Structure 1
Amino acid sequence: MTRRGAKNLIIPSRSGASTQAAKDVVSDLVSTGVRFVAPKCDVSSATELSAMLEACASMPPIKGCINATMALQDAIFDNMTHAQWTQTTRSKVHASWNLHNLLPHDMDFFILLSSLSGIYGSVGQSNYAAGCAFQDALARSRTDAGFRGYFSLDLGWMRNIGVIAENADFQRHRQHVADMQPIEDSDFLALLEHYCDPELPPRKSPAAAASQLLVGAVHPAYFRARGENPISFVDRPLFATFAFAGNGTKKNSAAAADDGEDAAFLFARAGGSSKSRRAIVLAALKAKLARALGVQASDVDSYRTLMDYGVDSLMAIELRNWIRRDFHAVVAVFDIMSGNSIATVSELIVQKAG
């Protein structure tokens, strides 16, 4: 945010800037001329939040808020104490509600960092899942009521920053659980850059549905595209709509490739034939781009760049994740946005495919 011009930041937390790393961040920002306040404040308390905002009244009007509060008190529900339930839900429910009530309603953005746990549920984290579900509902209801800039980002797990990256036990747990896809810090920052943009155009109807974004979600078709059986929780009726990527009808290989359907299957079946693989990837990439633009795949020129067709950083992330999922190729967002032609990007995918 400071690299994009922010000069006044208020970062309240229950502990304040208590660690050396936090103090170093504050010191570095202040040395660059940023007015940075990191008060010790529990925003789940309306009284504390109100007092903190009053103490910061000399600062410019608040134009945006990101609620990243979280308190984990994991336990099986039958064994969970009332204190464990309350501490976690307060960090999500009360904090979000207090910020909504006490901050200006004409801000450019109000972003709630929620979790896919609120969608899937999480054994041992019913309190956290409930709090995240509330944040999703708050974003949707406030958007439906006409407030602008309300978004709930249902994140999977952050691989290289945050609580999992900082905790060895959490890292070991994630190595054996496949209920969410890992998210890189660059992906997360690209999302924030998009949703914090005050020039973001109005959302199309129904606007409330556009106020909630699932990031790193998995579903039955995600596993079947890899020849794997879906893990039990995504094989429930709730996810039946996502059981298959295609429409259930069989097509010949050429038609399927042209439509962008079953590309992963055709790619795997092509074996070591680079020429066939390039054709399959190119057809699938053009088809995906055509669907996003509402045109025919034949209208997409293979020798133009993705940026020529309006691909921005957010869509580049979606493409990067799709490439990694369907073709098992790790292609950087930079490679997608670097000005290479669609044909060149397709060739790069084939080269990096596992």
Structure 2
Amino acid sequence: MEVVATVSSETKRKLLQDEYGVPDDHIFNSQDLSFAKGVKRMTNGRGVDVVLNSLAGEALRQTWHCIAPFGYFVEIGLRDIINNTGLDMRPFMKDATFFFFILTHLENDRPDIMSTIVQGAFHYLRQGITRPATPTVSFPISDAEGAFRLMQAGKHLGKITLTWGDDEIVRIVQPRMSGPHLDPEGVYLLVGGLGGLGRSLSSHLVRLGARRLCFLSRFGSASAKAKDLTQSLEQHGILVHVQACDVSDESSLAAAIDCCSRELGKIRGVLQCAMVLRDGLFVNMTHQQWTESTKPKVHGSWNLHRSLPDDLDFFITLGSFTATIGHRGQSNYASAGAYQDALAYHRRCCGRHATTIDLGIMRDVGVLAETGMTDSFREWEKPYGIRESEFLAIVETAIDWDTRNFRHPQILTGLATGGSVRSAGITMPYYMEDARFSVLASTGMREAGDGDGNVGSAGAVPVHSLISEAKFLEDAARFVLDALVQQLAKMLQTPASEIDTNRFLNSFGIDSLVAIEIVNWAMREAKSTTTVFDVLAGVPMTTLCARLAAKSKALPAALTCTA
């Protein structure tokens, strides 16, 4: 059997001569088309019986004309196939056959044939009929990029292989998901969307393609910031409609939606941002405080569910992570958020779009930022805070997921890990005592310096551990007092040395919300129970701490009897 080959360099010519014994006059240059005449001259115009081709363009056409009668042309290149290049028909007059196949197609669609081929290949190797191509250049799998770059250069000889090893670290690049593209003819409804988050959202919706925005707000465009927003959007060619509307009033909402649809067109999506904060302890909360906070999210979200078309592209409600973890000072707001979470599940069960986003502490946009309240949460920002860019990315993902009814209808954000809380030097939150958050609580604790992975006060031995080793009840009381002084100093942002332990706690000017934190601290750190009324009662800190120590579950049994 005679073999004729084409090469693109002298190095490859020499390889064929030295490794495979191909005579020099049987090797032609593939960089020009002279090889076609050379092959026909060698074969007295007959051509070759089998062609294995990877050349493209005119070189492929000339090679096709080198086929002999009843010959087989096997194409292994892809360029002309992808480009749908035409093929001369005349060589078929020689009863020639043109083959093309992709090995992966064979593997997927005809595994029986693929199995026969692989078995045959290994049989040839075992019998020494064939051998691996030489030379072989190997790259570790961690340097797959280098292997592809060498192949792309087109200067390698033989084969390029990737090797696997237990110690290899492979960099995985996540494919970037393209963001959703909103319908420029569709109308997008923002409820309560003239506040800080809403203003940020509206600009982002425009970047995603929206050109028609309808805002529903209790006060319409009365505020200066709302007027600035609408003017800015209109200057960029956005159709804007602002309607004063209380979404908790079903008839008012229905009229507003009808007006919006008549002026702008069909509503394609909604973002429910309405919120009212009326903080306070549940036991002290008036009915008015409860309803003012819950109505926008409970009645408002339900009315939107009933009043808007069934074929929305997305229905997204914004809430708070307190809907999941609770908040003693915001029971009304937390319960309203929990209702929105349940509504999202209900809509999904009904085959309609819905996603609820439970947000953590917003750092640079929203109610806290606009009212200056972020200063009160400065120490919590690092482990819990969400920046505006992160918030917009979350909303963008939610729109994309909701449009496709993809994944879970509830997105929970702002929950820190135990390690991030410890690294920030702040007290572990009460919810980490909940078994549902046990994985979060232990995550990163070793890296943060707690070798046992225990959840406790940052940078110190948990006070309940000290209580468990106390020899006398007075010692346990002192441990609680020392720990409470440190905790109170952090809350009041004052040196611990300036806190007089003979004073009443209420004399430090603490309110009911701070008292709640102390109650939670006692439960978590001292394994003891108390009430807000006890904390705010007129008793010295020393007396309060003695009572906490006496009721601690960590107190040794011998001391419990004397207590």
TM range (shorter): 0.5 to 0.7
1:216 paired residue among 407, 414, 438:
414
Residue 132 (str. 1) matches residue 337 (str. 2):
yes
User: 1:183-213: CA deviations, max 9, x gaps?
Assistant: 1110111112222238954425xxxxx1111
Residue 121 (str. 1) matches residue 319 (str. 2):
no
Q: Is the 8 A contact 2:417 2:442 kept in 1?
A: no
The whole-number CA distance in structure 2 between the counterparts of 1:199 and 1:232 is 32
Q: How does 1:190-269 map to 2 (within 5 A)?
A: 190-197=393-400, 201-204=404-407, 210-220=408-418, 222-223=420-421, 230-245=428-443
Structure 2 match to 1:183: 386
Residue 165 (str. 1) matches residue 369 (str. 2):
yes
The whole-number CA distance in structure 1 between the counterparts of 2:425 and 2:379 is 18
1:37 paired residue among 236, 241, 246:
241
The whole-number CA distance in structure 2 between the counterparts of 1:161 and 1:199 is 24
Q: Is the 8 A contact 1:179 1:218 kept in 2?
A: no
SS at 1:57's partner residue?
helix
SS at 2:368's partner residue?
coil
SS at 2:438's partner residue?
helix
1:107 paired residue among 305, 308, 312:
312
Q: Is the 8 A contact 1:72 1:128 kept in 2?
A: yes
Deviation at 1:229, TM superposition (A): 5.9
Rg comparison, structure with higher value: 2
1:152 paired residue among 356, 380, 395:
356
Residue 27 (str. 1) matches residue 225 (str. 2):
no
The whole-number CA distance in structure 1 between the counterparts of 2:253 and 2:429 is 42
SS at 1:129's partner residue?
helix
Q: Is the 8 A contact 1:220 1:239 kept in 2?
A: no
Deviation at 1:94, TM superposition (A): 0.6
Matched length: 245
Gaps of 5+ in 1: 205-209, 247-260, 267-354
The whole-number CA distance in structure 2 between the counterparts of 1:172 and 1:114 is 21
Structure 2 match to 1:336: none
Q: Is the 8 A contact 1:63 1:107 kept in 2?
A: yes
Deviation at 1:237, TM superposition (A): 3.6
Q: What code does the residue aligned with 2:362 have? A: M
The whole-number CA distance in structure 2 between the counterparts of 1:63 and 1:217 is 31
Do the aligned partners of residues 199 and 76 (structure 1) sit closer, same or farther apart at CA in structure 2, a change above 3 Å counting? closer
Q: What code does the residue aligned with 2:291 have? A: T
Q: Is the 8 A contact 1:108 1:198 kept in 2?
A: no
The whole-number CA distance in structure 2 between the counterparts of 1:223 and 1:137 is 29
The whole-number CA distance in structure 1 between the counterparts of 2:219 and 2:370 is 17
Q: How does 1:204-353 map to 2 (within 5 A)?
A: 204=407, 210-220=408-418, 222-223=420-421, 230-245=428-443
Q: Is the 8 A contact 1:153 1:213 kept in 2?
A: yes
Q: Is the 8 A contact 2:359 2:414 kept in 1?
A: yes
Do the aligned partners of residues 76 and 226 (structure 1) sit closer, same or farther apart at CA in structure 2, a change above 3 Å counting? closer
The whole-number CA distance in structure 2 between the counterparts of 1:230 and 1:198 is 33
Structure 2 match to 1:273: none
The whole-number CA distance in structure 2 between the counterparts of 1:180 and 1:111 is 25
Structure 2 match to 1:9: 213
Structure 1 match to 2:137: none
SS at 2:329's partner residue?
coil
The whole-number CA distance in structure 2 between the counterparts of 1:83 and 1:127 is 11
SS at 2:297's partner residue?
helix
Deviation at 1:53, TM superposition (A): 1.2
The whole-number CA distance in structure 1 between the counterparts of 2:380 and 2:208 is 36
2:299 paired residue among 65, 90, 94:
94
Taking every aligned residue pair, what percent have the same amino acid on both sides? 37
The whole-number CA distance in structure 1 between the counterparts of 2:355 and 2:377 is 26
Deviation at 1:12, TM superposition (A): 0.6
Residue 60 (str. 1) matches residue 265 (str. 2):
yes
The whole-number CA distance in structure 2 between the counterparts of 1:39 and 1:82 is 28
TM-score using structure 2 length: 0.41
SS at 1:88's partner residue?
helix
Deviation at 1:117, TM superposition (A): 1.1
SS at 2:442's partner residue?
coil
Q: What code does the residue aligned with 2:246 have? A: D
The whole-number CA distance in structure 1 between the counterparts of 2:426 and 2:376 is 20
Do the aligned partners of residues 77 and 57 (structure 1) sit closer, same or farther apart at CA in structure 2, a change above 3 Å counting? same
TM-score using structure 1 length: 0.63
Q: Is the 8 A contact 2:317 2:355 kept in 1?
A: yes
The whole-number CA distance in structure 1 between the counterparts of 2:427 and 2:235 is 54
Structure 2 match to 1:141: 346
Structure 1 match to 2:6: none
Gaps of 5+ in 2: 1-204, 451-563
SS at 1:23's partner residue?
helix
SS at 2:213's partner residue?
strand
User: 1:126-166: CA deviations, max 9, x gaps?
Assistant: 10000000011111221133213x11111001111111111
The whole-number CA distance in structure 1 between the counterparts of 2:343 and 2:448 is 38
Deviation at 1:49, TM superposition (A): 0.3
SS at 1:21's partner residue?
helix
Q: Is the 8 A contact 2:314 2:403 kept in 1?
A: no
Do the aligned partners of residues 166 and 5 (structure 1) sit closer, same or farther apart at CA in structure 2, a change above 3 Å counting? same
